[in-house]
Amino acid sequence: MSSPFELMPRQYSPFWLRALCLISGIAIGLALATVLLMFNGVDFKGIVREFVLYSFVSSRGLAQTISTGTPLLLVGLASAIVLKLRFWNIGIDGQAWLGAIAASGIAIYEVGDPSFRLLIMACAAIIAGAVWVGIPVFFKMRLGVNEVISTLMLTYVAFLAAQHLLYGDWRDPSTSWPVSVTFDENSERLQRIGFGHVHDGVWIALGSALFVSYLMLGHRFGLFLSAIGLSPKGSKASGLPVPVVVILTVLIGGGLCGLAGFVIVAGQEYRLTQYVIHDLTFSAILIAFLARFNPIAVVPVSFLVAGMFTAGETLKAFYQLPLSLILVVQAVILGSVISVEFFSAYRVRINGFGLSNRQIDEEQSQQL
């Protein structure tokens, strides 16, 4: 028996439909997340107070949101630029770990002149993140290894490498805890700008957003990204330098992740610790999807997601809820957005009603 419903692929999705699907997906996700939090004992007033008033209105909460959103902006940009190529980088945490390790190594061994040490730390972090993601790129292009597997596995390697150093030569001799020595206040830390815990890393993140925006929206490189993401084989047949674009794009993404690791250790923790990097990958993917891979939209979305973590800290303190619940909230929102996105790619037709296939084809041809 045939189904009464038929899926018709859309040849063209107008802007208003894509915007409506995005807004609807976010609204549904927020509604489901609200219900989830209320089931866990948080009343509606508490949700509004923590997620809106504290995270974005109060000066203390806003400063914490901006500080948390700084590395999220960097990894969100990294995720957006590689997902434009349909390259799934699931090892963002690993690349951030390598960036944090490289920056910490420069600080611990006091490499270079103190007046340039922060710059050396940042460059080392960028190179380390790019090299770490370069391994999966090599495996994918030369051996056909799926990047989801290789990037994910290398995250565990990076984490264990950090633990080896912290339990070994890099442990602070003045404490029994697995942490490195504290960075020098004058030459190895990003300075605060005078608004809570917000530091100079926010300017680094915003500058990176300008660079990626120019690359994706103001340069022909962005056209190459879009073309290769839609059809790698067609782009190669058209003469586009597909391997070069893929390698450069993914290396830029890895470098941004490494830079995020530098921002965290030099601007927030001031040392390398066991769990200095955590839960960046999923947040980065969420940011990229909500921003529709647009680097300009990544900026506000990053700080909105950071507000969730700020609210999560207060929920943990006052409602004894685990911070991992915020990851569940993010998953609910992302799942809702992806689910509603289906309607921008397909139209659902009830057999026996509405337009015929021929009429639909004619209508879509007129839209094009």
In this predicted model, what pLDDT tens digit does every residue of 130-184 receive, in sequence order?
Answer: 999 999 999 999 988 999 999 999 999 999 999 999 999 999 988 888 999 999 9
Calculate mean pLDDT across residues 262-270. 95
The model's pTM: 0.87
Percent of the chain at pLDDT exceeding 90:
52
pLDDT band at 3 (very low <50, low <70, confident <90, very high): low
Taking Cα atoms as reference points, which of 50, 65, 139 lies closest to residue 321? 50
Calculate mean pLDDT across residues 4-9. 70
Count the neighbouring beta carbons within 10 Å of the beta carbon of residue 116: 12
Q: What is the pLDDT of residue 239?
A: 86
Provide the mean pLDDT of the chain. 88
Q: In this structure, what is the dihedral angle of CA atoms 30, 34, 37, 43, given to the nearest 10 degrees?
A: 150
pLDDT band at 352 (very low <50, low <70, confident <90, very high): low
Contacts with 232 (C-beta within 8 Å, 6 or more apart), sequence order: 242
Q: What is the pLDDT of residue 278?
A: 85
Q: Which of 73-77, 91-95, 104-108, 314-318 has the lowest mean pLDDT?
A: 314-318
Instruction: Flag whether pLDDT at 108 surpasses 90.
Output: yes
Q: What is the pLDDT of residue 362?
A: 55
Q: What is the pLDDT of residue 368?
A: 52
Calculate mean pLDDT across residues 243-262. 96
pLDDT 10s digits, 86-104: 999 999 999 999 999 999 9
Q: What is the pLDDT of residue 2?
A: 55
Instruction: Flag whether pLDDT at 212 surpasses 80.
Output: yes
Instruction: Flag whether pLDDT at 342 surpasses 80.
Output: no
Q: What is the pLDDT of residue 359?
A: 52
Q: In this structure, what is the dihedral angle of CA atoms 238, 211, 297, 78, given to the nearest 10 degrees?
A: 70
Instruction: Flag whether pLDDT at 348 surpasses 80.
Output: no
Q: Which of 14-23, 154-163, 213-222 has the lowest mean pLDDT?
A: 14-23
Percent of the chain at pLDDT exceeding 70:
93
Q: What is the pLDDT of residue 66?
A: 94
Q: Which of 50-54, 246-250, 343-347 has the lowest mean pLDDT?
A: 343-347
Q: What is the pLDDT of residue 319?
A: 79
**Quick one: tokens of 320?**
């004894």
- Give me the phi and psi of 87, to 5 degrees please: -100, 115
